[in-house]
Amino acid sequence: MCDTFVSVGDRTKDGSVIFGKNSDRQPNEPQIIEYVKGGEQTEETVKCTYIDIPQEDHINSVLLSRPIWIWGAEMGANDKGVVIGNEAVWTNEQENSQKLIGMDLVRLGLERSNTAREAVNIITELLQEYGQGGNCGMYSKEFYDNSFIVADSKEAWVLETAGRYWIAEEVKGIRTISNILTIEKDYNLIHPELLQHTIETGRCRDEDDFNFREQYKTKFMSFAAMGDKRRTCTLKVLNEEGKVTVTSAMNAIRNHNTEKEFNPQKSSMASPCVHASSLLTPSQSTASMVSHITDNPIHWMTGTSTPCLSVFKPFAVKPFDSSLMNASKNYTSGSLWWEHERLQRKAVMNYKHNAEIITSNLRKIEGELISDIYGTKTPKIHTDEALKRHFDAIIDLHNTGMEEKGGLSQLRYRRFWSSKSKKVNLPPL
């Protein structure tokens, strides 16, 4: 499960476009930040996650947040200033055979577009030609269709799909999507055959009766994914300051959607920053991103799970030292993602106490990184330094005394995480 949002125009403090996404996936699934250089292409085809499709003569350079086993990306940006993130949605047009998956469409849209509007066209053309489908889970079978937010410095779009059909709405103000179809009767673009298909299949009587969300969603997963609850939460946080900023976008991503003291043992799918805890809450926020889209975009990315315990670090769509992105399927020493996992799996055993220790250290680093960017007229993006500072702080925190709670419920919770860690040879702190 994921959450994606965007704020445009007069809803941001500086008039820019601000995009954010939490990527929620299976908790042992590493996600890395990766720069891929564009340019002229010599290969006739490109191998996506499951299928090969014709390659373009030229592709853009891209910055991706990518699950290690997938060709595509959960979210990312290109060197033209386009940003895209996707959401899993469950529809009654869904096909499960191997085609393009939503993450492939994110990457292809970034590699091939110069504007957000062009990216919408590219994704919908690919969808109609090749379809979407295929297992999207690293450890268990997960099949779904996709929705997207596509943005650049001038505009943003919500694009929602059901099988090969699609519908799109231009964003005005703040817009959030979260594992549920959201476009109903108001839209700007639509698959040329969608209205007729909806009528012919008996979903609606005529054009006036058309409602994409109600007529293409599946009731059980729309309820179980709790997308509406997370959308309400992120929208509320984004509205709290009146005008959206990079910091308020980070706050929305970190929110646990509870008025009570947060307890990760009781985390639910209603939480934007979700912590895996049981069969009822199997997902974890495995990577996060906030993009400040101006003429010179800055992409703030965690490169780790659980944003409430992490640091957003600044990236441009340029090469960086990727040595800390050396994650593999099993625990990899020296990997930012995996060393953070050791820390967070200890921290959640007594979240209130341990989170205070972690955030008092890491928020200071993040605050200084934000100040370095926005506190000067000539900001410089020191990605390599930011990555090293975060990694070194994690290693230092490994040696800080973390406390654990007792009790029967805690024992069950400890066993849940112990089982997860054992499967990937993750050594405890």
Domain limits at 208? 3-323
Q: How many residues does the chain have?
A: 429
Mean pLDDT by 10 residues, the chain (429 residues): 92 96 96 98 97 98 98 98 97 95 98 98 97 95 96 98 97 96 97 97 96 92 81 93 94 94 91 92 96 97 98 98 96 97 96 95 96 85 97 95 82 94 95
Do residue 411 and residue 367 come from a single domain?
Answer: yes
Supply the pLDDT for residue 227. 84
Same domain, 120 and 257: yes
The pTM score is 0.96
- Clarify whether residues 299 and 405 are in a common domain: no
Q: Are 64 and 37 in contact (CB under 8 A)?
A: no
Residue 91, in any domain of the structure: yes
CATH code (residue 91): 3.60.60.10
235 lies in some domain: yes
- Confirm whether 303 is domain-assigned: yes
What is the rounded distance in angstroms from the CA atom of residue 98 to the CA atom of residue 34?
25
Per 3-state DSSP, the chain is made up of helix, strand and coil in percentages (nearest 5) of 35, 20, 40
Quote the CA–CA distance of 339 and 242 in Å, as a whole number.
Answer: 37
Catalytic residue among 2, 48, 136, 273: 2
Contact present, 234 and 290 (Cβ < 8 Å): no
- At 244 the pLDDT is 97
Question: Among residues 274, 249, 111, 244, which one has the least CA distance to residue 179?
Answer: 274
Asked whether residue 216 falls in the same domain as residue 355, the answer is: no
Active site residue 2: yes
pLDDT at 429: 84
Pinpoint the alpha helices (H) of 225-305: 227-240, 246-254
Do residues 374 and 313 both lie within one domain? no
Residue that is last in its domain, among 323, 357, 392: 323
Q: What local confidence, expressed as pLDDT, does residue 181 receive?
A: 96
Residue 389 is predicted with a pLDDT of 98
Q: CA-based Rg of the chain, rounded to a whole angstrom? A: 21
Q: What is the 3-state secondary structure (H, E, C) of 284-302?
A: EEEEEEEEEECCCCEEEEC
Per the structure, how many domains does the chain have? 2
pLDDT value at position 242? Answer: 87
What's the rounded Cα separation, in Å, for the pair 162 and 156? 20
Name residues whose C-beta falls within 8 Å of residue 181's C-beta, 6 or more positions apart in sequence: 89, 91, 147, 160, 162, 212, 213, 216, 217, 222
Give the C-alpha separation, 116 to 109, whole Å: 9
Check whether residue 297 and residue 349 sit in a common domain: no
**303 and 392 inside one domain:** no
Q: Please give the pLDDT value at position 94.
A: 93
Picking from 283, 278, 285, 279, the residue whose alpha carbon sits closest to that of residue 255 is 285
